[in-house]
Structure 1
Amino acid sequence: MSIQHQALPAFGLDQAPYAYGAPVCQADFKTFPQDFVVEEVLGFEPCGEGEHLFLLLQTDDQNTRFTVKCLSSLFGLSQRAITYSGLKDRRGLTSQWFSLHLPGKNLEPDAVAMAEQGITLLRYARHNKKLRIGTHKTNRFQIVLRNLVGKDQLEQRLALIKESGVPNYFGAQRFGHDSGNIEEAMHWVEQNALPREKALRSRALTTLRSWWFNGMLGQRVLAQSWTRWQAEDPILLDGSQSYFQESAWSEVLEARYQSGDIHIGGWLPCAEQEGLPAPISAFLRLAAIKAEPRSLCLRPLNFQWQWCNDQLHLQFQLPKGAFATTLLRELTQLNDLSGLQQNKE
């Protein structure tokens, strides 16, 4: 591991501190695709006209980028003409929106041809604007945990998570298989050069900033200050990227925080972030990237659970950019069985 690696405050998610102590319960996760169901909630209705065709698609065992390749082939479009709001997991049943730019073309989606590619067409409609990253409002999850061991202690932790939330860490998916994304990003840091390819450049920047955020948040968790405002913390409006800052915390702000109207945030770093290793600061400066706020606490919406023998059925919604695995790691030790499912290339 390089000097720059050692200077970073956390490695992915594995070493991130727990808010309520390491869970003692164990459970099988993603035994079957239907054990992990996620539905993208757009937050608005397509207007019904325009040069963009919106598709709500369900897939099993293929990620967002693979679906884009399939749509490109089916519609004879460049992949640049196909956009989406967020990246979704490969393992599980995933429903998400895509938009296809079809100016002057009155094409209708072929559900049969899509089904042959492992894609189920749920809805489609025209709209006057394309989908952009972060357009959707929330993600709705239905998760089944199986073969639970030590479940007697789960009820208390479930109630605690529903009431107080969990640290809003970036999930392990952000860092790639065996944290390969961070190794790739550090290569570019050591070269002090931005990748020419847009996707590689974006991945390197988001990986580094997410890793740093997790480390900062982990320090706040250890200090038991992740739910308490500190000077210079951004204050985010619920359901929005808008934020403001205050010189002092007040009873009014506390009441708004407790009601869920506002959230205490931390920063995804820019080059001027205090404490950043010099090589990483220089790398971020190449991209002229600005600091961005992110909530420190992740509170699941409409959090419900039901027991069925040794199975736990969970339902909840999370805001865009949040990770279900971040919530689950506070609940139980997960035995991820998705690798045993049939691969699709």
Structure 2
Amino acid sequence: MKLPEKESLVRQTIDVLKEMMRNGELVSPIPGERTLASHLQVGRDTLRSALNELTRMGWISESAQGKRREILKITKAAPKKKQKTKRILFLSPQRLEEIPRLMLIELNSLRTLLAKRSIVVDVISPSIFDTAHPEKRLEQLVIDYPADAWILYRCTEPVQRWFQEKKIPCIVRGYPHPNISLPYLDEDWKAAAFHAGTRLLSHGHKSVGIVVPDAQLAGLKAAEQGLFEAVDKAGEGHYFHQVQEKKDIPSLVKSVQEALSSAHPPTALVLTRPRHVLSLSSWLATFGYSIPEHLSIVALCHEPWFEDFYYPITHYTTPPENMSKSLAKQIRHLLSGTPLPSGQSYVIPEHVAGESIKSI
């Protein structure tokens, strides 16, 4: 229940009483002045003045000895126009149960923020990502799933390009591919990888590598470029390795073994997925090796269990709630009918120092 404020107290008490009569909270016969004044938390003189004014306006009957006032008329407030619900579709190559935990937290936070503005967010994972020419499937997709705007998550270059050419309102949650001018939001993985590289180099590491999945994602390529630039800037006598993982442990182990058998084996690796941390640490432990004693690592990702390692993992993180707020703001802007400008829209990840880097 709304309570009257101190300023213009009689006028505000009148407005509150009218509202109570409209919504049925106050019915005939009206309670006595003492009870009503206590309920509204105003003085009896203030209440009496408000009741007298309502009598003059014809809303209630006059006060009479031994008889309580009656409500004479109720002017209904104009019904509020129901806000149309808008729909956002989160397009992902991964099913909901496969999406990384932190991304799920971000998605849940985004849904909560947008629900307050009658905007719903649904996740769909159609089978359009394994083909080089998904155009026909995309044409049918937007017919089967009408939406006011789309969020493109880990989408391939052909998918991003199709949305761009069709001028469908959308935001890339991640890095756009080369020559794609769609609005986007992501962590600055290039800057994070460059920073990780300079940290490793400052600890005496002259040969470093980056572990990346075999996926055509622009964010991974940006991370590779960031680390390469850090190593290249260090000059002669420093070496860069790309270690590719084909989404299974044997391929990761094989790539790491090849790098460690090269002429200038890496003494440190930058990892791009949480699973790399588990796979590498357990593989090394099998042969009596450990992190960071025999291999230093830095993760460009984050999971809470990183801090449960005996030597906490040095990593980079961005609170998912911060990302969801930025994304919600962009979506509201997009739904207003004003196109979002293309260009840089990065959030700088926070560096969390651990103990997984050994000085050489």
TM value normalised by structure 2: 0.23
Please state which structure has a larger fraction of its residues in strand. 1
**Structure of higher CA gyration radius:** 2
Q: Higher relative contact order by CA 8 Å / sep ≥ 6: 1 or 2?
A: 1
TM normalised by structure 1 equals 0.24
